[in-house]
Amino acid sequence: MVRIELKRKDDAYLMEARNETGNTILMDAGKDLGGQGAGMRPMQVLLASMGGCSVIDVVSILKKKRQAADDVQITIEGEREPGVEPSLYRKIHIHFKLFGKIEPSAAEQAIKLSMEKYCSVAKTLEQSAVITHSFEII
């Protein structure tokens, strides 16, 4: 079982989330909601989680295929439902920048396997959002 503890860091919305091994992230509300913007907003953390999950998958798959991925960088854009509460993500696009000597077919297969089979965060988000992906090899 996963355990996360949250503690408020100020009298507004700044929070620190800590896992069982002591790793932390800061979350906050935006200034428009009375926060300081001193941490990621919770819905941003959700997108970052999908990115982290998929990078782990892609790097692992590429290593098994003996592809030299020197670096992987991603950009994720999410579009939420306007004017409703809760405001769920309805569209998410993730773009992978893969650095190194990587065969395009291997990159495409690794990303597809992550997005469609292995990434638990993507599988959770696909219940409400259409998730698309693209990549480039640099």
Structural domains in the chain? 4-33 (no CATH), 42-137 (3.30.300.20)
What is the band of 78 on the pLDDT scale with cuts at 50, 70, 90?
very high
User: Can you give the pLDDT at residue 71?
Assistant: 96
pLDDT more than 90, % of the chain:
99
Q: ∠ at Cα 78 (19, 20), nearest 5°?
A: 5
Please provide the average confidence, as pLDDT, over all residues in the chain: 97
Nearest to 133 by CA among 74, 90, 89: 74
Instruction: Over range 5-30, report the average pLDDT.
Output: 97
Instruction: Over range 34-53, report the average pLDDT.
Output: 97
Q: What is the pTM of this model?
A: 0.93
User: Can you give the pLDDT at residue 126?
Assistant: 97
CA-CA distance, 97 to 71, in Å (whole number)? 8
Mark 78-113 as b/e (b = at least 16 C-beta within 10 Å): bebeeeeeeeebeebebebebeeebeeebbeebbeb
CB 27 within 8 A of CB 15: yes
* Helices and strands of the chain, counted as H and E runs: 3, 6
User: Can you give the pLDDT at residue 115?
Assistant: 97
| pLDDT one-digit tens code per residue, 86-136 | 999 999 999 999 999 999 999 999 999 999 999 999 999 999 999 999 999
User: Can you give the pLDDT at residue 59?
Assistant: 97
User: Can you give the pLDDT at residue 19?
Assistant: 97
